[in-house]
Each structure stands twice: as structure tokens, then as C-alpha cells.
Amino acid sequence: MPEFFEKYPGSEMEEEKFKKNIYGNEKFPPEKAKEHLDALLAGFKEHFFSLGYHEETPVLITSGIDSSVRFIGSHISVFKPYLIQERIPNPGIFMRQNCLRTRNADKLLEDSFALGWGSYFTSLGAIAPAERLKETCVDTFNFFKKQLNISPENILIRINSSDDDLVEACRENLNDENLEFDKEKEEYYKHKIGVEGISGRSFNIALRNSDGKGFADVGNIILLSNNKKILGVELALGSSTILKELYGLDHVLDCSPVIGLENIDNNLRRKFEDAIITSVVLFNEGLRPFGKHNRNRILKQYLKALAYFKMKSGIDFEKLSEIITGFEKREFPDSEDRLSGLIIEIIKTYET
């Protein structure tokens, strides 16, 4: 295992939590989550930088650089100008990008709703010139094999058999045993990026679950094109989905853990955590729940959910403030502003 994936021993958690999985890893304690995430991001950068890819600077989730979305939900928002103007440098560009997808927002107050995915995550992405499909596949599979030490038997490619170019690129790197053909609906292999006339065909990369049973998607490679030609090759990986499988985590939210809610109902806990994480992230970028813009309205939804979850769980404001402050310190250690007090004051207005 590479040095930056050194495992952290634990002495206070029960032995079962430290049982090694098929990747030779143990669950890490929540206090170590950011170190593991940072290590994954550093490994991604090290790998693609060493191959000559140019690094792109991430943008704020609330930057508004992409008019097709309210929040940055993928690195493709940053890559679009390179793609549209057909000026992707050789061999490509890579980046890490904090993202927010708010599909949970409208369901948070439904008691029966079970949170499958967190709203906030860090995306690992790259884009390469159209002619570099095979090379991009080589670079990607080598990241899994060499940087993450994942053997080919634990990688599955979910692909449409009619995409001959994608199939050929995969077969040059993996065996047919690694390929799963046509098991998903047609739209699973198709992509839109919010630009009229540009769409994508893709295959998904899945890792074997940490218990050895089944596979879970962690990313994809997409051929983006207009009605005339292929414009570029995109790689998209989810950092939290990768870490979840490598370390056998219970939920993707454990990659950005909120410590202090472990003893409440698990379904309520995960929604509570998601609301805290999203609210803190958006407050940290300067957004507030005032005004008529959709971004402000969505933040207000998460804050109202916080007030509801506080009531449902029986946690008092002092405890909630401690929990929010703890998350702030872990997620944004360099920030001098602590926003928990402001968040609490706004939540109080929803209880009156």
C-alpha cells in the first residue's frame, strides 16, 4: 500500500471495527477521516501530475461560473470552456473540486426518507483531448492499480456493448471478466452536461464491496461529443465512494463525519449530518438564507431541516453548537471564522 494510505491503529473502538477487509484495510475512526481524504486527493494529484497533466484550480461551490446549475455539482462545470472552445491541452487537465448536489433537500423532512448519498463531496476529475481515449483509460486504471493498490479482480466495468470504442479501450487494459455488458438501462450509459448539443457516452468503474460481495460504482469515463465529432474524454471519480469501499465505511458521510450524533436513530442521524455539513459548507462560502435567489432558498431548506432534526432528536442548542463547531474545525481547520453561533441563532428563529 502506498505511504499516503498508511493505516491508523485504533485502541478505543471495538475489535470488529478494525477487522481488515478484502483490501487489507480497517475502518478508520472519524477523527482520521480528513487525513484519509487528503491522502486520496494527494495521491490523485501525484499520479496525474507525474503524467504531465495540467492542474486546474478549484472554484467555490457558490461561484456561479456555470449558469446551468445552482451550485457546482461536478468538475465538468470548470472544464466546459476547454471543451466548448476545443482547447484542451495535451495530455490533459486534472483537478479536485468540492461539489454540492441538493437532490436530498426536498425530502429531508420526510421521516421515511433514507439518505443514500450525501449532498456534499469532493470530485476527482480529468479531461483529455478526444484522441486520447485509450491513454486516459491507461492512466485511470493505473491510478487504481498502482496508487491505490487495487488488483484487477476487484474492478468491474459496466459498459454498453454498442460503444465499440469504449469497449476496445477497456479490453486493452482489462480482461473480459472485468466487463459487465448491458445490465443497466440505456440512459445509465448516457450523459448531459448542461450544454445544448453536447452529450456523452460512458462506462462506469465499480469497485468490489469491501466485504467481497457485489460491486459499487465509484466513477466513470465519458466520451463527450457534439453532432459532428468527439470533443474530449472526461474522467469523473467520487472520493467518498472510493474511500467507502476501500475502508468498509458504513456510509459515504463518514468521509466528512459529524461527530456527536452516533446515539440517535440512524435514519435521522444521516439526514441530520447531511443538513449540518451542507449548511456549514455554504455558510463558509458566505451564503446566507436571505434573499430570493434559489441558492438562498435551498440553504434555508437545510437550516429548517436542522431545526426539525434538533427537535426530533431532543438535542439542545448547546450540544448542537458543540457538534457544529467540531465539524467546522475538522473540515475547515484554516478558517478563522466559526459560524456555529450564527447558524444556531438562525435555527432558533424557525422554532418560534
248 part of a folded domain: yes
Residues 271 and 188 in one domain: no
Report the candidate in 135, 142, 174 with the shortest Cα–Cα distance to residue 158. 174
Residues 266 and 188 in one domain: no
Neighbours of 202 (CB within 10 A): 22
pLDDT, position 14: 47
Q: How confident is the model at residue 12 (pLDDT cuts 50, 70, 90)?
A: very low
Give dist(CA 91, CA 232) in Å, integer: 11
Last residue of a domain, one of 252, 273, 291: 252
Tell me how far CA of residue 312 lies from CA of 5, 130, 273, 317, in angstroms: 38, 52, 14, 13
pLDDT tens by residue, 115-133: 999 999 999 999 999 999 9
Last residue of a domain, one of 234, 252, 270: 252
Residues 191 and 296 in one domain: no
Q: What is the DSSP string of 219-284?
A: EEEEEEE-SS-EEEEEEEEEHHHHHHHHHT-S-GGGGS--TT-TTS-HHHHHHHHHHHHHHHHHHH
Range(s) of the domain holding residue 299: 258-349
Residues 151 and 297 in one domain: no
H-type helices in the chain, by residue range?
A: 33-50, 76-84, 133-142, 164-171, 239-247, 266-284, 294-313, 317-331, 340-349
Residues 230 and 341 in one domain: no
Give dist(CA 212, CA 192) in Å, integer: 33
Q: Which residues make Cβ contacts (< 8 Å) with residue 62, sequence separation at least 6?
A: 71, 72, 282, 285, 286, 287, 295
pLDDT, position 337: 80
Residues 17 and 124 in one domain: yes
Residues 27 and 155 in one domain: yes
Residues 308 and 235 in one domain: no
CA dihedral sign, ordered 279, 282, 286, 290: negative
Residues 263 and 230 in one domain: no
106 part of a folded domain: no
Residues 42 and 59 in one domain: yes
107 part of a folded domain: no
CB of 190 closer than 8 Å to CB of 201: yes
Q: How confident is the model at residue 291 (pLDDT cuts 50, 70, 90)?
A: confident
Residues 300 and 338 in one domain: yes
145 part of a folded domain: yes
CB of 200 closer than 8 Å to CB of 193: yes
Cis peptide before 91 (omega within 30 of 0): yes
Place of cell 459529524: 258
293 part of a folded domain: yes
Residues 279 and 134 in one domain: no
Q: Domain tally for the chain?
A: 2
Residue 33 burial class via C-beta count within 10 angstroms: exposed 0-12, middle 13-18, buried 19 and up: buried
Give dist(CA 167, CA 198) in Å, integer: 21
- At residue 178, φ and ψ (nearest 5 deg) are -90, -5
Last residue of a domain, one of 226, 252, 278: 252
314 part of a folded domain: yes
pLDDT, position 7: 42
Place of cell 452529450: 199
pLDDT, position 256: 95
pLDDT, position 17: 54
Q: How confident is the model at residue 10 (pLDDT cuts 50, 70, 90)?
A: very low
Beta bridge partners of 225: 199, 230
pLDDT tens by residue, 130-183: 999 999 999 999 999 999 999 999 999 999 999 999 999 999 999 999 999 999
pLDDT, position 44: 99
Using the predicted structure, report yes or no on whether residue 312 has a pLDDT greater than 60: yes
338 part of a folded domain: yes
Q: What is the pLDDT of the chain when averaged over all its residues?
A: 94
